[in-house]
Amino acid sequence: MTIKVGDKVPDGSFGIMTGDGPGSLSTSELFGGKRVVLFAVPGAFTPTCSMSHLPGYVEHAEAIQAKGVDTIACLSVNDLFVMDAWGKDQKVGDKVVMLADGNGEFTQALGLELDASGFGMGTRSQRFALVVEDGVVQGLHVEAAGEFKVSAADAVLSSL
């Protein structure tokens, strides 16, 4: 079942790179008592994700935070080393938290997985954005197949 507005985000954890090396971040640490924009991409270093999706959130980070957002996070079904390298490549700095859903467990718990095996990518995440307040989904922006509109940073910013 796909998550919907008003639902609590499922429990889980993400791989993150810390100053001390590989670490993890729980959903309660990410979402608890905060307003978070979480956007997901099918894959790090892929064309739309690298040319438009992630860069849009980096560009609009200050404007999004000015709307009362505490954290902007990027999720992908990739390992934390790939997400760290992609964040460095895209110069996200501290504007976007790079989250690895290595086995796709959180993505599947949301009901937003994508079968990308036809592209040799296995199970990945659909392209989407969530606005979450204290663990509860307040906004859900899921792209139609092959689209990049509703989960873009400017579209999410205008919905805040």
Structure tokens at 35: 């307003």
Q: Which of 16, 37, 49, 92 is catalytic?
A: 49
- Judge whether 74 counts as a catalytic residue: no
Task: DSSP for 3-62, please give it.
Answer: --TTPBPPP-EEEEEETTEEEEEEHHHHHTTSEEEEEEES-TT-HHIIIIIHHHHHHTHH
Maximal C-alpha separation, the chain: 40
Catalytic (active-site) positions: 49
